[in-house]
Structure 1
Amino acid sequence: MEYQLLFAEVLYKELKDELDLEKIFKLIEKPKHSEMGDFAFPCFELAKIFRKAPNQIALELAEQLEMPPLFEKVQAVSGYVNVFLAQEEVSASVVADVIQSKAHYGKQDHGNGEVITIDFSSPNIAKPFSMGHLRSTVIGHSLARISEKNGFEVVRINHLGDWGTQFGKLIAAYKLWGDEEKIRENPIKELLTLYVKFHDEAEHDESLIDEGRLWFKRLEDGDQEARDLWEWFRDESLKKFNSIYELLGVSFDSTQGEAFYNDKMERVVQLLEKKQLLKESDGALVVETVEGMPPCLIKKKDGTTLYATRDLAAALYRHETYGSERSLYVVGNEQTLHFKQLFDVLEKMGYEWSRGLKHVPFGMMLKDGRKMSTRKGKVVLLEEVLKEAVSLARQNIADKNPSLAEKEQVAYQVGTGAVIFHDLKNHRLNDVEFSLDTMLKFEGETGPYVQYTHARASSILRKGSYHENVDQLSFSDVQSWPVVKSLMDFPDAVKRAFEGNDPSQVAKYVLDLAKTFNQYYGNVRILDAVEGRQTKLSLVHAVQVVLKEGLHLLGVEAPEEM
């Protein structure tokens, strides 16, 4: 990254009358083949400005450039100015930087301490935590870490689905058929059973629907019994959710769900009235949005508020409480219209900070090409998937390395890491096909492959009795250069991941680094080396550091042994 900027600055001295520094930096390419150099600047855009052929411009530029010492050679080829880095000096500098920086390597300062709120996961209380919730949870968790790496202060928010008519139905079902002891033993399963039974029975007895409405009205009015039952269902659900979050290594700064905003919505309605944005439509209150979008419904005909009202209240509360100028909402594709309306209404209300709000959509989790969904109470439970993944990892360890220390911990790290990595290696907008067998393979584009590469690097360092020392690194071999170049790319991957809200940039990066390192390991005798042994071990250590930090940004552990 810094060498690309250095090259851009050198070019800028010659081209400042034609192009600005940022434009030059963006035009610089990384050639696919090493014989074409480490960076290349295309001169085609300058052809119109100078009214010369790109080849001629490249030749003249190559002669004029005064390259700093860390650049070894400049050449003009087919309309490009290609530059070659001084491999020995740059290698020593990069490896020393990684080792001395450790987990701070690749850290950016774009955020400059600015607060960013990230709304993710958001399961519904009293319903199972299914595979459908995995994507929002792991994408949001990774984006939080990536944002911190880019210099932001992050507030992690789990906006729980803990309000609505379904709670009236659930309370009614509990009063009719509930068993307190059973719910305490297995809350989510029992509450779901009650919820499903309520809907089955309501098909034959319509009075149950009225009973559900009555209990929700009592809950809204603050009835003590309804409130106590609702809080109990919420608390029991949270305990179960937290055990899953613990498995995934996910935590939150706020778990204030929809119910928290009940007493904050009237203010939103008043603000909209004051700003003369509310209009009546068939007895309901709406805000007209930009052309091409339906109006945003604020209050129903019967006076009840909706998701939009609640989310407007939440946006105001978060901005006022945390001072955030940016907010990410990691919610599925199907909510795209809702967020467009939400952001448009906030902008119409005159809040400039609304421009910093962003919906981060994602595709579906598929099983055999079909969407995973709740059908008559049957769901694919995330907890069961994670436990099965850990069990398969445990079996792999028993087959391949039965004498491994900390077997249980490693099985957990590999099993959960495989599930998380399988999701995040895909661009978030793509649908993801679920397959435990594919996830847990130790070769190919999988989490265990990257984890195993980290464990291999750790093993080499132990066997080589490595002691950290970066004073006399000497890279005279050609095999190490691809690994060094890959290490250099890490800060750029971190930046791209943040700018695109795209953890797959980091996942693809660690896969590439692991592959490049394994090729190096296959061609170089590291532990048998007498000359340059310390340098080779230092390179291995640098790879270990970056693989661990890359996996950390994805929410995946990096075992020392596997």
Structure 2
Amino acid sequence: MYLENTAEILTQYLSLEKEQILQLLERPKYTNYGDVSFPCFTLAKELRKSPLIIAKELSERIQHPYFREVRNEGGYVNIYLQPGLIYNETILDVMSKQEKYGSSTVGEGKTVVIDFSSPNIAKPFSMGHLRSTVIGNSLGLLYEKNGYSTTKINYIGDWGTQFGKLMAAYEWWGNDEAIKEDPIRELLRLYVDFHEEAKEDPTLNDKGREWFKRLEDGDEKASKLWKWFRDLSLVEFNRIYDLLGVSFDYIQGESFYNDKMGKVVDELKEQKLLEESEGAHVVSLGDEMPPCLILKSDGATLYATRDLASVLYRKKEYKFDSAIYVVGQEQTLHFKQVKSVIKKMGYDWCEQFLHIPFGLILKDGKKMSTRKGKVVLLNEVLKEAISIARKNIEVKNPTLMNKEVTAEQVGVGAVLFHDLKHHRIHDFEFSLEDMLAFEGETGPYLQYTFARIQSLLEKGKFTFSKEVIPSDESDQLEVTKLIARFPLIVEKACEDHDPSLLARFLLDLAKEFNSYYHAVKIIDQSSFQTARLQFTYAVGVVLKEGLRLLGIGAPKRM
């Protein structure tokens, strides 16, 4: 709120709108440069003066009871706010709104369709699928926090030649008992073995294509196998989703759009957009990018055909204002092609189609590959994380109630936060050791800070009240400023489709609060205790809600 108030005051001195000023305001890197800074560089051309002169003149003119002091430093106007005013309005805002603090109505009346996770059936849920799942889930929560209505879809990979290859492998080497005992691991073994054998005998690939053709033609045996593989996979996927706390409104695999692709092809033909190229059918996209392949030479459809069918279906069915696809950055060209085809088809909503790319989790510097068997199973990572959390609880707090629930929250939270703290577009190396560290920039560190807050409130016999006890303790200022930034961070993380902005913010908040905790005796039976506990409670509200928006639980005790 203090940033909005500052921007409002500055409109009296600048020829800029409040929202423009708000976008320019910065948080100084060092506290001795003020509480908020306004850079004057964008005004230089308009005022025909150097930023240094503009900053000096502005700092001499600006006066307001809200500001304790205004100075210029280089091309910046550095503003020092009244600590008591910032504290009172910020804590009052948190206490009055509770978990709704940070919510906005910017998306009111708008619908966003979010396509995320999208694992392939008959393959294990690997660490490679984690990014789309946790980023997509967090974006859904952030959109809802900002007032949007969301429709969350899991577009599972349940169609294509790879399933023909799996059926061929099953026919030769399949063992029903082994599959029943450990379905996904055994199906993965068959899939990997097929590709190893196909290196020596490429004709095996023809057998795989034959099986998939049988599936497309509705062959009873192929259909029965496909449904069996699909059902086994969904049981495993749902178990992992439950553990991650992730849910969907719809599970619509590629097969869901089989009867919808014909209409897309017909529409492209009617608009004379479909061209023949070496026996296949494509949509030409000019010199900007390669043509978009719609039909193979044998008439088979491709990913682009299915994605066109999906977005047209979703626009009609859900009337979205945005359709976002949380898919790795290696698919960037594919989504650019699909978007260009939508535009060529004359749909003016093509800009509502958004690809949200993300980087890879690498193993030994390389992309994980299911085909080569170089894959880290998410289920095993989660088990290990929960096991380590359980051992830590036994050592540090053996009498803790609900140990297993807490171990799951901490272990799963460690895995999720390790992913979400990285900038969405960056690759990062898989490291079980880093992921499961319970100190430093980790999920457990944030959870522990929240649990510490709950312990303080309990020891201090804190009683909630919306009436804020005024305070102007300087030790609280940096934490208070961070709390006040929370609504802007929530909005920015949603706008940029990047939960790491929120994750990094929570780390800053926890670090500043823990510094405060070590510098100030919160429970001291003094006249300041109630105000300090109220302040501590407000920090807890923001930490818990921030973790929730990342899909992470906040145990009260650890």
Cross-structure match for 1:28: 25
Instruction: Please point out which of 189, 196, 203 is paired with 2:192.
Output: 196
State the Cα RMSD in Å.
2.1
* CA distance, structure 2, for counterparts of residue 276 and residue 39 of structure 1: 57
Matched positions, count: 558
Cross-structure match for 1:9: 8
Equivalent positions of 1:16-415 (< 5 A) are: 16=15, 19-52=16-49, 54-62=51-59, 64-65=61-62, 67=64, 69-202=65-198, 208-374=204-370, 376-377=372-373, 379-415=375-411
- Is 1:558 aligned with 2:554? yes
Q: CA deviation at 1:102?
A: 1.6
Cross-structure match for 1:493: 489
Structure 1 304/212 Cα, relative in aligned 2: closer, same or farther at 3 Å? same
Contact 1:474 1:532 in 2 (8 A): no
- Code of the residue aligned with 2:169 in structure 1: it is A
* CA distance, structure 2, for counterparts of residue 421 and residue 210 of structure 1: 44
Q: CA deviation at 1:420?
A: 0.7
Identity %: 56
Cα deviation digits, residues 23-73 of structure 1 (max 9, x gap): 333222222333332222233443443344545544543455463x54444
Q: CA deviation at 1:213?
A: 2.8
Contact 1:389 1:419 in 2 (8 A): yes
* CA distance, structure 2, for counterparts of residue 20 and residue 473 of structure 1: 34
* CA distance, structure 2, for counterparts of residue 442 and residue 200 of structure 1: 40
Q: CA deviation at 1:546?
A: 0.6
- Is 1:505 aligned with 2:504? no
Q: CA deviation at 1:176?
A: 4.0
Cross-structure match for 2:450: 454
- Code of the residue aligned with 1:444 in structure 2: it is G
* CA distance, structure 2, for counterparts of residue 200 and residue 7 of structure 1: 65
Contact 1:158 1:255 in 2 (8 A): yes
* CA distance, structure 2, for counterparts of residue 377 and residue 82 of structure 1: 56
* CA distance, structure 1, for counterparts of residue 539 and residue 118 of structure 2: 36
Q: CA deviation at 1:104?
A: 0.9
Structure 1 259/507 Cα, relative in aligned 2: closer, same or farther at 3 Å? same
Contact 2:192 2:371 in 1 (8 A): no
User: What TM-score does the superposition give when structure 1 sets the normalisation length?
Assistant: 0.94
Structure 1 517/271 Cα, relative in aligned 2: closer, same or farther at 3 Å? same
User: What TM-score does the superposition give when structure 2 sets the normalisation length?
Assistant: 0.95
* CA distance, structure 2, for counterparts of residue 56 and residue 335 of structure 1: 48
Structure 1 208/433 Cα, relative in aligned 2: closer, same or farther at 3 Å? closer
Structure 1 351/368 Cα, relative in aligned 2: closer, same or farther at 3 Å? same
Structure 1 127/102 Cα, relative in aligned 2: closer, same or farther at 3 Å? same
- Code of the residue aligned with 1:276 in structure 2: it is K
Q: CA deviation at 1:172?
A: 3.2
* CA distance, structure 1, for counterparts of residue 168 and residue 45 of structure 2: 75
Residue segments in structure 1 that go unaligned for 5+ positions in a row: none
* CA distance, structure 1, for counterparts of residue 502 and residue 200 of structure 2: 53
Q: CA deviation at 1:83?
A: 2.7
Structure 1 93/11 Cα, relative in aligned 2: closer, same or farther at 3 Å? closer
Instruction: Please point out which of 422, 426, 432 is paired with 1:430.
Output: 426
Q: CA deviation at 1:207?
A: 6.2
Cross-structure match for 2:459: 463
* CA distance, structure 1, for counterparts of residue 33 and residue 194 of structure 2: 69
State the SS of the aligned residue for 1:480: helix
Cα deviation digits, residues 324-359 of structure 1 (max 9, x gap): 121211111211111110111111111121102221
Instruction: Please point out which of 503, 511, 514 is paired with 1:515.
Output: 511
